[in-house]
Structure 1
Amino acid sequence: MRLDLADLRLFLCIVDAGSITQGAIRANLALASASERLRRIEADVGVQLLERHHRGVATTEAGEALVHHARLILRQQARLLGELQDFTLGTRGTIHVYANTAALTEFLPHKLAPWLARHPLLNVDLKERTSMEIVRTISVGLAEAGVVSDAVDAPGLKLQPVATDHLMLIVPTKNRLAQTRTVSFANVMDEPFVGLEPGSALQDHINDHARIAGHALAFRVRMKTFEGLCEMVSCGVGVGIVPQGVAKRYRRRYSYQVVALEESWARRRLCLCFRSWSELSPAIQSLLSHLGGTPAIEAV
Structure 2
Amino acid sequence: MVHQQSSGTRLSQSGDTEDIPEREMSLLLAPRLAHFAGVARTEHVTRAAQQMQVPQSTLSRAMARLEQDLGVDLFARHGRTVSLTPAGRTFLTSVERALAEIERAVEEVRADADPATGKVAFGFLHTMGAETVPGLLQAFRAGHPRVRFSLVQNYGEAMLERLRAGELDLCLTSPVPDAPDLVARRLDEQKLRLVVPADHRLASRRRIRLAEAADETFVTLEPGYGLRRITDNLCAEAGFRPKVAFEGEEAETLRGLVAAGLGVALLPPPTVPRPGVVELTVTAPRAVREIGVAWLAGHPDTPPVAAFKKFLLSRRGNLLPT
TM-score by length of 1: 0.51
CA offset at residue 147 of structure 1?
A: 0.9
Cα distance 1:209–1:104, how it changes in 2: closer, same or farther (>3 A)?
farther
1:238 matched to 2:263? The reply is yes
1:273 matched to 2:294? The reply is yes
Aligned residues of 1:96 and 1:124 also touching (Cα < 8 A): yes
- Which residue is equivalent to 1:166? 191
Of 133, 158, 169 in structure 2, the residue corresponding to residue 108 of structure 1 is 133
Amino acid across the alignment from 2:266: I
Cα distance 1:153–1:261, how it changes in 2: closer, same or farther (>3 A)?
farther
CA deviations 1:275-300 (Å, max 9, x no partner) are 45982222222222333349xxxxxx
Cα distance 1:151–1:123, how it changes in 2: closer, same or farther (>3 A)?
closer
Of 145, 157, 162 in structure 1, the residue corresponding to residue 182 of structure 2 is 157
Cα distance 1:81–1:200, how it changes in 2: closer, same or farther (>3 A)?
farther
1:250 matched to 2:273? The reply is yes
Across the aligned residues of Structure 1 and Structure 2, the Cα RMSD in angstroms comes to: 4.4
Cα distance between partner residues in 1 of 2:200 and 2:314 = 41
Cα distance between partner residues in 1 of 2:161 and 2:248 = 27
Aligned residues of 1:165 and 1:268 also touching (Cα < 8 A): yes
CA offset at residue 215 of structure 1?
A: 5.0
1:143 partner SS? coil
CA deviations 1:32-82 (Å, max 9, x no partner) are xxxxxxxxxxxxxxxxxxxxxxxxxxxxxxxxxxxxxxxxxxxxxxxx999
CA offset at residue 173 of structure 1?
A: 4.2
Of 111, 114, 117 in structure 2, the residue corresponding to residue 85 of structure 1 is 111
CA deviations 1:7-37 (Å, max 9, x no partner) are xxxxxxxxxxxxxxxxxxxxxxxxxxxxxxx
CA deviations 1:157-212 (Å, max 9, x no partner) are 3332333222221113443444372433x66464233446x699456545765998
1:268 partner SS? strand
CA deviations 1:116-171 (Å, max 9, x no partner) are 574345132223122x4444544565533211224543335333233322222111
- Which residue is equivalent to 1:119? 145
Of 280, 304, 308 in structure 2, the residue corresponding to residue 287 of structure 1 is 308
Cα distance between partner residues in 1 of 2:233 and 2:201 = 23
Give matches, 1:142-153, under 5 Å.
142-153=167-178
Ranges in structure 2 where 5+ consecutive residues have no aligned partner: 1-20, 24-105, 316-322
Cα distance between partner residues in 1 of 2:278 and 2:297 = 43
Amino acid across the alignment from 1:273: A
Alignment: residue pair count? 208
Answer 1 or 2: higher relative contact order, Cα 8 Å, separation at least 6.
1
Amino acid across the alignment from 1:219: A
Cα distance between partner residues in 1 of 2:219 and 2:118 = 42
Percent pairwise identity = 19
Cα distance 1:208–1:193, how it changes in 2: closer, same or farther (>3 A)?
closer
Aligned residues of 1:194 and 1:240 also touching (Cα < 8 A): yes
Aligned residues of 1:159 and 1:271 also touching (Cα < 8 A): yes
Give matches, 1:63-78, under 5 Å.
none
Aligned residues of 1:103 and 1:148 also touching (Cα < 8 A): no
Cα distance between partner residues in 1 of 2:178 and 2:153 = 20
TM-score by length of 2: 0.48
2:178 partner SS? coil
Cα distance between partner residues in 1 of 2:298 and 2:108 = 13
Amino acid across the alignment from 1:268: R
2:129 partner SS? helix
- Which residue is equivalent to 2:33? none
Cα distance 1:81–1:152, how it changes in 2: closer, same or farther (>3 A)?
farther
Amino acid across the alignment from 2:273: Y
Cα distance between partner residues in 2 of 1:220 and 1:259 = 22
Cα distance between partner residues in 2 of 1:111 and 1:279 = 23
Amino acid across the alignment from 2:183: K
